[in-house]
A and B are shown apart, each in its own frame.
Chain A
Amino acid sequence: MKSMKFFSGHYVTIDEIENYIKQSKKDNRVILIAGSHCSGKTTLITSIYEYFQRNLYKYPFIFSGSKTLIELERLCYFSRISSNGNNQQERTTLDEKENFIHLCVRDKLRKMPSVNLYLSDFPGEKYLALNSNNSEFTKLKSLTIVDHIVFLVDGKELVSNRSSAYDTTISIIKSVLDFINSNKLSPNITLLFSKWDIIRTLETEKRKSVVKYIKNRNDKLRAFINHQYGIDLFITEIAARPSRDSLVIDKNIVGLLSQWIYAK
């Protein structure tokens, strides 16, 4: 018996996004989230989704639908279980396709129309591989239609090896921006420090040292990117997975969402 097939509920591909953008009357935003493995890319996405499930009255955005509900639930499942106190997160698989999560969101007061957000969930290893061969960037179709690129710096790695964590991200940023610049593209760029709760809870002197290091590097990086590429770099930090004593989702996630939705 023939049947009417709907969207799969799993990731949407870049080709599907291009079709949706053509058909949709709504605003669309394509967001790439780039970072080394376990830097917190998937946790960021699942935290945004979980906050819609939990915090209706506190935050300015509301959920309006998703074509990837099954994928979101699968990713969240691994955020919901714990084993001996260690939170587990399934590693994103190395897949050649450019896969995206879809969230349709709207401002809580419903003064603005809904916006479709397409969030990438790329494995960090892919970006490192691209970093060593510029021509590989041309295979990433998403870079030609992206509205925002978020580069993650792993807060946990920063504490143990700050120069490696920061410089690896700089290397990826420069390669991506070279490609963007040469193709006359103009997405918004964000540098995002993840797992900030780990830095926040360091003993005072160590915390001051890390924060001072980050501030110095950030100031130089911002100036460099502005001078070299004419781009204003937005910098923020989040603790998407809260520490044991905090049950409130980071307000900087709201700032990030606002930037994605309002700054096209």
Chain B
Amino acid sequence: MNTNSKANNVIKPNHKLVLGFHSSGKTTFIAALWHFLHKTIDLNPPYKLTPPNNREYLEYIWNRWIKFKEVGRTEQENFYDLTFNLYDNQSKKNVDFSILDVSGEIYNISWQSRSFDDNFHSFVQRSNGALLFINPLTLHYPNTINEAYEIFHEVFLKPEGYSFDIESWFEDNPIPWETSDWDADESPSQVKIIELLQFLLETIKISKSKFRLAIIISAWDSIGTYEISPELWTAWRLPLLIQYLITNFQYKKNFQFFGISAQGLDYSDKDLMNELKQKDASERVIVVGDHNRKTDIFEIIKWIMS
């Protein structure tokens, strides 16, 4: 395992970025992946791992994960270039699977500064795929003209006798009723994600048609009750992003959707936590593919590497 690797110009066969803003679920996914690669006792796993010598970071985040604790923020200055040497039991071949875990702050800084720093830039150049994490619970949505009018109807055109505490409602709702200076940081999440992808496409050396992008909707346990697939959820909640994806990539060939709950639950749900503590840790992880089809974490790895 390399940390803070120096730049070189070689495109590694399976060098993938882990993209996503702060708290999007990147590191929790890696902790869960480490569990499935190294901690289970499956007699016929899809992949057999040769453990890396230096796995301090992986063990640290896995320890947090197994104890139902937040895995914590990745330090801004650290890049974790994680290489897993895998034996594919199906194809009977050895593969190196590398992923780069960085702090979500890197992406926020890139949005503001309109640049990648030198080290990160070199990682991006060498990559041939990415796992893009989107957390539905931390997204920022725009309020459009039409929504503003809907809210006016709601607030001002209620029938007489309707009691409505307007002051409290204004405090609770994010619409800025008073003119204030605009802040680029308040832009909707899907706009920032698109910008990140635009930066990515300007940087990668590989042809766009050969780049693989897994869109991973994290905290899927919070969405699952709607019985909606990850692709439909994205089209519903992030329509601008869907349009950008289908005009710049090919669905299923270049990009694919997954839903994952690597935690398995909201950690504030103590009853469910106690229930899951009595079960095999592998059962915590929920993964769905397109059409809300139940699958496992290895399908994500298999697809991104194929």
User: Which chain B residue lies CB-closest to A9?
Assistant: B114
A110→B194 contact, CB < 8 A: no
A47 to B202, CA, bound (A): 28
B145→A244 contact, CB < 8 A: no
A56→B114 contact, CB < 8 A: no
User: Which chain B residue lies CB-closest to A105?
Assistant: B247
- Chain B residues, Cβ within 8 Å of A73: 182, 184, 187-188, 191
Minimum Cβ distance to chain B for residue A93 (Å): 13
Q: Which of A57-65, A169-177, A187-195, A199-207 forms contacts with chain B?
A: A57-65
- Judged by a CB distance under 8 angstroms, whether A54 is at the interface is yes
Tell me whether A80 and B247 are in contact in the complex, defined as CB-CB below 8 angstroms, given that A5-B114, A53-B240 are known contacts. no
* Interface residues in B37-52 (C-beta closer than 8 Å to A): none
- Judged by a CB distance under 8 angstroms, whether A262 is at the interface is no
- Judged by a CB distance under 8 angstroms, whether A148 is at the interface is no
B113→A3 contact, CB < 8 A: yes
- Judged by a CB distance under 8 angstroms, whether A4 is at the interface is yes
- Judged by a CB distance under 8 angstroms, whether A157 is at the interface is no
- Judged by a CB distance under 8 angstroms, whether B226 is at the interface is no
B89-125 CB mask vs A (1 if < 8 Å, else 0) is 0000000000000000000000001111111010000
B243→A74 contact, CB < 8 A: no
User: Which chain B residue lies CB-closest to A7?
Assistant: B114
Minimum Cβ distance to chain B for residue A1 (Å): 5
A153-193 CB mask vs B (1 if < 8 Å, else 0) is 00000000000000000000000000000000000000000
Q: Which of B25-33, B59-67, B130-138, B170-178 forms contacts with chain A?
A: B170-178
Tell me whether A52 and B243 are in contact in the complex, defined as CB-CB below 8 angstroms, given that A3-B118, A5-B114, A6-B202 are known contacts. yes
Tell me whether A4 and B148 are in contact in the complex, defined as CB-CB below 8 angstroms, given that A56-B242, A77-B182, A80-B143 are known contacts. no
- Chain A residues, Cβ within 8 Å of B83: none
A63→B243 contact, CB < 8 A: yes
A80 to B199, CA, bound (A): 27
Tell me whether A64 and B148 are in contact in the complex, defined as CB-CB below 8 angstroms, given that A3-B115, A80-B142, A81-B175 are known contacts. no
A56→B179 contact, CB < 8 A: no
User: Which chain A residue lies CB-closest to B114?
Assistant: A6
A81→B179 contact, CB < 8 A: yes
A1-25 CB mask vs B (1 if < 8 Å, else 0) is 1111111110000000000000000
Give the size range of A's interface with the partner.
35 or more
A65→B142 contact, CB < 8 A: no
Minimum Cβ distance to chain A for residue B76 (Å): 14
* Interface residues in A122-172 (C-beta closer than 8 Å to B): none
A70 to B111, CA, bound (A): 9
Q: Which of A62, A81, A242 contacts B146 (CB 8 A)?
A: A242
- Judged by a CB distance under 8 angstroms, whether A241 is at the interface is yes
Q: Which of A30-38, A82-90, A220-228, A253-261 forms contacts with chain B?
A: A82-90
Minimum Cβ distance to chain B for residue A126 (Å): 23
Minimum Cβ distance to chain B for residue A45 (Å): 13
Minimum Cβ distance to chain A for residue B228 (Å): 16
Tell me whether A65 and B115 are in contact in the complex, defined as CB-CB below 8 angstroms, given that A4-B121, A80-B143, A81-B177 are known contacts. no
- Judged by a CB distance under 8 angstroms, whether B13 is at the interface is no
A8 to B235, CA, bound (A): 28
Minimum Cβ distance to chain B for residue A104 (Å): 8
- Judged by a CB distance under 8 angstroms, whether B198 is at the interface is yes
- Chain A residues, Cβ within 8 Å of B118: 1-4
Tell me whether A80 and B152 are in contact in the complex, defined as CB-CB below 8 angstroms, given that A6-B115, A52-B240, A53-B240 are known contacts. no
- Judged by a CB distance under 8 angstroms, whether A69 is at the interface is yes
User: Which chain A residue lies CB-closest to B157?
Assistant: A244
A104 to B240, CA, bound (A): 12
B138-180 CB mask vs A (1 if < 8 Å, else 0) is 0000111110111011001000000000000000000111110
A9 to B242, CA, bound (A): 20
Q: Which of A6, A64, A87 contacts B248 (CB 8 A)?
A: A64
Interface centre among B114, B153, B190, B194 (most CB of A within 10 A): B114
A54→B188 contact, CB < 8 A: no
Tell me whether A54 and B152 are in contact in the complex, defined as CB-CB below 8 angstroms, given that A5-B114, A77-B182 are known contacts. no
- Chain B residues, Cβ within 8 Å of A47: 145
Q: Which of A3, A64, A67 contacts B244 (CB 8 A)?
A: A64
Minimum Cβ distance to chain A for residue B3 (Å): 17
B116→A54 contact, CB < 8 A: no
User: Which chain A residue lies CB-closest to B181?
Assistant: A77
- Judged by a CB distance under 8 angstroms, whether A50 is at the interface is yes
- Chain B residues, Cβ within 8 Å of A80: 142-145, 148, 175
- Judged by a CB distance under 8 angstroms, whether A94 is at the interface is no
9 A-B pairs in the complex with CB atoms less than 8 angstroms apart: A5-B114, A6-B198, A8-B114, A64-B244, A69-B194, A73-B184, A80-B175, A81-B175, A244-B153
The 6 A-B residue pairs whose C-beta atoms are closest, nearest first, are A64-B247, A3-B115, A62-B243, A63-B243, A73-B187, A77-B182
